[in-house]
Amino acid sequence: MAGGRITRAARLFVLLTGGILAGMVPLAILPSLTQMAEHFSAQGNGALIAQNVITIVAPTMALGGPLIGWLTELFGKRPVFLISALFFALAGAAGAIAPDLWTLLASRIVLGLAAAGVTTITIAYIGDYYSGEQRDRLIGWYTMIGSGGSFFTLLAAGRLADIGGWQAPFVLYLVGLLILTLAIPTLTDTQDRNPTTTASAGGGSIRAAFGIYALILVLSVVMYTVTIQGPFMLKAAGIVKPSLQSNILMMTTVGAVFGSFIFSFVRPKMGFLGVTALVWAAFGLSIAGFALTANVVVLGFLSGLSGFAAGLMQPLTQGEVLNVVPQQAVARAIGPAVGFHFLGQFLHPFAFLPLHTALGGQAAFLWTGAGAWAAGGATILWQLRAAARRAALS
C-alpha cells in the first residue's frame, strides 16, 4: 500500500511539473529575442522573424491538440506522453545547433507538436483522476508550478544569452528528458482511476466548450503583449541588456504563481464571469502601464500584474472546459483548449503589427490596454444581467 501511495505521489509530481514544459515553449528563448532579431535582420524584418521563431509553435499546437486527443484514444495516454516528452527535448534543443532559419523553424514546429502532447495529456490525466474542487485546485497548482519553473527558465535563459548568444538558451529544453525519465515508471492508463469518473475511449461532444475556446483565443492574443512586445518597449526605453530585460519580464512568472495559487480561492466566490472580468482588468492595467514608464521597479510590477492575470486565466478556462464536457471527451476537449491558447500566441504579432505601424509602440500598448478594460466592463455587465435573470426566475 505504501508503494502505491508513493507511485501516485510520483505520478502527480510528473503531471504537475508537466506545466513547466508548456511554459518553456516561448519563455526559454524570450530573453534572446532582440539578439535573434539582430541576427536575422539581414533576411528582412528581424523583429518579426524573431517573434515568429517564438510563436511558430502555435499553429502546430492548435492543429496538434485535437490530433493528440485522437492518438490517445487509439494508443492510450502513456505512450503518446512519453514520445511527446522525448521529442520535446530533442526538437527544442535542436535550435542550439540549427544552421539556418528554416531548420530552426522546422525544429520549432516539431517542438510545438510535442508540447501539445505533453500539455494535453497531463491536463487530461488530471481530469481523469480528480474531480470537482480538487480538480480545479490541481489545475491551479499545475499552472503555478509551471509558472514557477518559468521563473527559473527566464533567469537561466537570460544568463545563457549573455554568455553564449541567442542560441545558447535552447539547451534548456533538454529538461524534457528528466520528465520523461520520471514518467516511465509512474504513468499508467488504467490504475487508480478516480471512481467518480468514467473515462472511456471515444464518444462525447465537445460543442459546449466552443464559446470557451473563443475566449481563450482572444485572451491569449492580449496576454502575450507584455511578454512578446515587452522587450522592444524596454529597448526603446533604454533597457537593452538581455539579463536585465529577463529580470523584468520574469516577474510575469512571479505574478502567474500568485494568480494560479489564489485561483482555487477566488473561483468559488467570484464565479467564472467574475474571475474573467478580473483577468481583463489586470491585463488592461499592465499593458497600458507598460507604455507609460521607464522605471525598472514599476515595469517589474506591471509584468507581475500581467502574469497574475495569466495565472488566473489558464486554470479558469481549462477548468471550465472540463466542467462543460462529458468525462469521456476530456482528452479531445483539452486539445483544442491548449491549441487555441497557443494559436493566440502565434496570432499576436500579426494582430499587434497593424496597431504598431499605424500608431507607434506606445499608443498601440495604450489602445490594447483600453480594449482589455472594455472587455472587462462588458463581462461585468454580462454577469449582472445573468444574476438579474436568475433572480427573476427564483
Q: What is the DSSP string of 285-317?
A: HHHHHHTS---HHHHHHHHHHHHHHHHHHHHHH
DSSP H or E segment with residue 224? helix 210-224
The stretch 206-220 carries a mean pLDDT of 90
Q: Is the CB of residue 151 less than 8 Å from the CB of residue 250?
A: yes
Q: What is the pLDDT of residue 191?
A: 44
Across residues 310-323, what is the average pLDDT? 89
33: nearest Cα among 171, 227, 163, 175:
227
292 phi/psi in degrees, rounded to 5: -110, 5
Q: Which helix (H) or strand (E) holds 368?
A: helix 361-393
Out of 3.10.310.70, 1.25.40.10, 1.20.1250.20, 3.90.1580.10, select the CATH number for domain 2-393. Answer: 1.20.1250.20
Name the residue with higher pLDDT: 125 or 150.
Answer: 125
pLDDT for position 2: 54
- Local confidence band at 151 (pLDDT 50, 70, 90 cut-offs): confident
Please compute the mean of the pLDDT values over residues 390-394 and round it to a whole number. 71
pTM for the whole thing? 0.76
State the pLDDT at residue 204: 65
Band the pLDDT of 201: cuts 50, 70, 90: very low
pLDDT grade for 325, boundaries at 50, 70 and 90: confident
Hey, what's the cell of 99? 544552421
The answer to whether residue 250 scores a pLDDT higher than 70 is yes
Average pLDDT over residues 366-378: 92
For residue 337, how far is the Cα from the chain centroid? 11
Cα angle vertex 16, ends 286, 72, to 5°?
Answer: 110
77, three cell numbers = 495516454
pLDDT at residue 108 is higher than 80: yes
Contact 197, 327 (CB under 8 A): yes
CA 282/CA 312 separation, integer angstroms = 10
Nearest to 276 by CA among 337, 219, 221, 334: 219
Residue 77's Cβ-side half-sphere holds a number of Cα atoms within 13 Å equal to: 27
pLDDT at 203: 52
Q: How far apart are CA 320 and CA 271, in angstroms?
A: 11
* Residues 165 and 32: beta-carbon distance below 8 Å: yes
